[in-house]
Amino acid sequence: MSTVTALGKAVPRPAAEATAPARSGQVPIGWLALLATPVAAGANAPVLILPDMARSLGVATATATWLVTAFAWAMAAGTPLLAGLLRRRGLATVLRLSTALVLGGTALVAAAPWLPVALAGRAAQSLGGAGLVAIAMNLAGNARRMGVISSGFGILGAAGPLLGATLTDAVSWRLALAVSAVAVVAVPVVARYAGQTPPAQGRFDARGATLLIALATTLILLPTAPLPALAGALVAAVLLAAHVRRRPEGFVPARLLRSPLFVTSAVLGAALSTSYFTLLFTVPRLLQDRAGWTTGTIGTGQLFTLLIASAASWLLAAGSARMGRAAVRTVLVAVGVTAAVTAAFATSGVLLLLAAGAAAFAATGANATLSVQAASATTDAQRPTAIGLFALSYQLGGAFGPGLATLLVLG
């Protein structure tokens, strides 16, 4: 087993130390969780307040979902980009840039009079959050510590809808969208523990990065503009494949694309994430329509269900090494499929909540366990890249989900 140092590189680590307490040179996992996880609350805060946001900005509720999609797109595209920047420019640079983006984006959202300005602010918040997540994931090191971060995502993601509704009722939806800024509290501590990364050798693969972002963008647009997005995705995929052949060690390493372990982990992570984020936005409406629940009851029920699911996913992550890869994947797929089928046909409010919880367990567990599997598919030098690309595939679900929810129940 290996662990990730403050320099963003993996070094050998004896197996007996895999579950030992963090060494003094490691950032305490609580601070890493605080650095990374508030972005989940910020991402999910709009779930119950989309109508309030839409009325304030003078747009339809379906149009307001672009604030969610923009956040998810920036997170998806920003994670591999800032992971690459972390490797090339060092932790201090990414920490400063990410902090500035989070604070600047939050200020824009707070003052935005129109939807385009709010979209720019949400994108900046998300890009900054992506940088903080990239730092935390690269400094975590093993499945157990990664599980703490992933469970934190689940817990704060679960609290996000109710927190957003509460802050909106008490003050404003703008304050609800500012909760991700809490992450900057951890920045000074992480900066003290982690050193400066020396620049990587070679020039930055700007073309590869541009083509990857273009592919991610077109994929995100599939639920809302299927035919143009599909055509754009095919063109971007062909161009990216040709570029990878010309530059196999570039922004998207050919070694990763040829690895069944990495590809399977990334595809499964994207699928389970998409299912979770779709149900996150559809189950509240289904609870209203099928079970007649009020907004307050829905928020409370969803909170407790997703909290339990997040705690269970940490147990899965902690035991994943003993279970083995095949068993972990079997559990994740079985739970994820059961969640989707239950949500499609259930009329009981309790069953709908259980479906949302099962989807959260599968997605959060996938993020904790499959990210480690994906990182193990390559060399130590490419581990940050592998984690960033896995995070991209997982975050695509955060963009697909709201779009699919709009098609299914919100439109």
Determine the pLDDT at residue 410: 57
How confident is the model at residue 10, as a pLDDT? 38
- What is the model's pTM? 0.76
Dihedral angle sign, alpha carbons of residues 340, 47, 29, 395:
positive
User: Could you read off the pLDDT tens digit of each residue along the chain, which spans 411 residues?
Assistant: 333 333 333 334 433 333 333 344 688 888 999 999 999 898 888 878 888 999 999 898 888 888 887 888 888 788 888 877 877 777 888 899 999 999 999 999 999 999 999 999 999 999 999 999 888 888 877 777 877 887 788 778 778 888 888 899 999 999 999 999 999 999 999 988 766 445 555 577 889 989 998 998 888 888 778 889 899 999 999 999 999 999 998 888 899 999 999 999 999 999 999 998 888 878 888 898 888 888 778 878 888 888 888 888 888 888 887 888 899 999 999 999 999 999 989 889 999 999 999 998 999 889 888 988 888 888 777 777 888 888 888 888 877 777 777 777 755
Whole-number pLDDT of residue 16:
36
Query: What per-residue confidence (pLDDT) applies to 328?
Result: 92
In the prediction, which pLDDT does 406 show? 72
pLDDT number for residue 319: 84
Contact, 29 vs 78, CB < 8 A? Answer: no
C-alpha distance from residue 162 to each of 50, 150, 295, 302 (Å): 13, 20, 9, 8
The residues facing 4 across adjacent strands are: 10
Where does residue 308 rank: exposed (0-12), middle (13-18), buried (19+ CB within 10 A)? middle
- Residues 183, 34: contact at Cβ < 8 Å? yes
pLDDT value of residue 266 = 93
CA angle 34, 38, 42 (to 5 degrees): 175
Measured CA distances, 59 to 15, 83, 122, 168, 236 (Å): 55, 35, 17, 18, 32
Could you give the CA distance from residue 133 to residue 262 in angstroms, rounded to a whole number?
Answer: 20
Contact between 197 and 182 under an 8 Å Cβ cutoff? The reply is no
Beta bridge partners of 11: 3
